[in-house]
Amino acid sequence: MKRRKLASWLLALALIGLGAEVGARLDDWACAGVPLLASPNRGRDLTLHDEHGFHGQPNGRFKKWKLNSLGFRSPEASPQPEPGMKRIVVLGASETFGLYETEGMEYPAQLEAMLKKHHPNVEVQNAAMAGMSLASMKPYWEQWASKAEPQYVIIYPSPMLYLTDKAPKPPSSEIPALEPLSMTERIRIAPRIRDGVRQAEWLKPLRQLYFQWKTRTSLAHHSEDGWIWSEPPADRLEQFSEDLRGLVRSIRAKGAVPMLITHANRSPSPPTSEYLGELEAMRAFYPRASPQVIAEFEVLGREAVKRIAREEVVRCIDAASKMTDDREAWFADEVHFTDAGARRFADIVAGALEPVLTGR
C-alpha cells in the first residue's frame, strides 16, 4: 500500500514537471518564437568564439536578450555610422549588458533615449559582455568592437572581476570545441526556477545560506598560507590599472575618444552590518577576499580609474559618488541595477556627455 501511494506521488510529480516543461516551451514559442524542440542556451546563443576572438553572436537571442547584426545588445545598426551620425560604443560587463532590468531598460538603452531628445544624430551601441574583465576587453575591442567605428567609447570597468582565484587574462586564440548540452541545460523550466529563486525577496535568507556554503566549500580546498587576502591585493590592483591604461590607449590608436566611468556598487566601504549579507554572497564568487576586502578593493578601483583618466587626459564620469543616496532602490544586488538604478545611472552619464556632444 505504501509503495503504491509513493508511486502515485512520484507519478503526480512527474506529470506536474512535464506539464511545467510543456508550458515553458509553449510560452517561449508564443512570446519569443523559440522552436518547441530547441534547447536555448545563453552561452551558445549570445556568444561566439571564432577567428575574431570572443564576441557577441550576431543576431543572437536568448530570453529577453537580443543582439543585433553587430553582436551588440542594441537596435539594428549599419556596420559603420551613417553620415552625420555620432556613434557611442559602451564597453563593460553584465552591469552594462543588463541583467535584472526589464527589456529596454538597461542603462545604455536609456542613455540613448535621453541623448536623442536633444541630439537625434547620436547612437549608443551596447557592446558589453557578461563577465568581461579589462584583460579580455582590449582584444575584444581591437578584434571586434572597433569594427563599428565609433567616435566615442565609454568604458565601465568592474574592479571586482580582478578578485577571482586566478588573475584575469585575455581569452585563448584557440577556438574551443562545443560541449554537448547536459540534460539540465535542455530543460526549459530550469532557468525559470533559477530566476525565481534568485529574485524572490522572501528567499533571500536561503540564498545567503547557499552562498555561505559555497564559500566554505571553496575555502576548504585552499588551506595554504596567503591564499586568503587580508588586504586588497596590490598586484591585482596594478593589473587592473595597467589593463585599463592599455585599453584607453588602444581606443585612441583606433581614432576614437575614450571616456571612463567609476564603478558603482550597493555597499559602502567600510561595509555596515546591513550590507554584509550582500558582500558575503559576492564572496561565493571571490572566496579569497573577505567582505571588507571586496568593499575596499572597489574603492581603490575607482581611485585607479580617476588617476588613469588624469594621466591619460581622458574624461572621467564619477558615477559611483552619485549612486549612494538610494542604494536599495537602485541596485538589485551588489553591482547590478534595477530599472530605476539604470535610469539614474544613464541620467548621470547623459549629463556628463552633454558638453562633449555640444562641443562646449
Domains defined along the chain, listed by start: 1-38 (no CATH), 42-170+186-358 (3.40.50.1110)
Residue 272 — very low, low, confident or very high, per pLDDT cuts 50/70/90? confident
When comparing pLDDT for 7 and 86, which is higher? 86
Q: Is the pLDDT of residue 50 over 70?
A: yes
Q: Is the pLDDT of residue 264 over 70?
A: yes
Which range among 97-106, 110-119, 179-188, 271-280 shows the weakest confidence by mean pLDDT? Answer: 179-188
CA-based torsion, 310, 314, 315, 317: positive or negative: negative
Burial class (CB in 10 A: 0-12, 13-18, 19+), 310: exposed
Residue 168 to residue 236: CA distance in whole angstroms: 9
Question: Count of alpha carbons within 13 Å of 78, Cβ hemisphere only?
Answer: 10
> DSSP E strands: which ranges in the chain?
47-50, 53-56, 61-62, 65-66, 86-92, 122-126, 152-156, 257-261, 315-317
Residue 19 to residue 259: CA distance in whole angstroms: 50
User: What pLDDT is attached to residue 68?
Assistant: 95
Q: Give CA angle at 227 (223, 231), nearest 5°.
A: 135
Q: Is the separation of the CB atoms in 285 and 133 below 8 Å?
A: no
Residue 27 — very low, low, confident or very high, per pLDDT cuts 50/70/90? low
Residue 270: cis peptide before it, omega within 30 degrees of 0:
yes
> DSSP E strands: which ranges in 232-322?
257-261, 315-317
Which range among 67-71, 192-196, 315-319 shows the weakest confidence by mean pLDDT? Answer: 192-196
Average pLDDT over residues 318-334: 92
When comparing pLDDT for 44 and 148, which is higher? 148
Number of H helices, E strands in the chain: 13, 9
Residue 24 — very low, low, confident or very high, per pLDDT cuts 50/70/90? low
Alpha helices in 99-153 (DSSP H): 107-116, 134-143
* Mean pLDDT, all residues of the chain: 87
- Ramachandran sector of residue 31 (left: φ over 0; alpha: ψ -120 to 50; beta: rest): alpha
Which range among 71-80, 210-219, 226-235 shows the weakest confidence by mean pLDDT? Answer: 210-219
Q: Is the pLDDT of residue 32 over 70?
A: no
Average pLDDT over residues 339-353: 97
User: What pLDDT is attached to residue 73?
Assistant: 96
CB atoms within 10 A of CB 198: 14
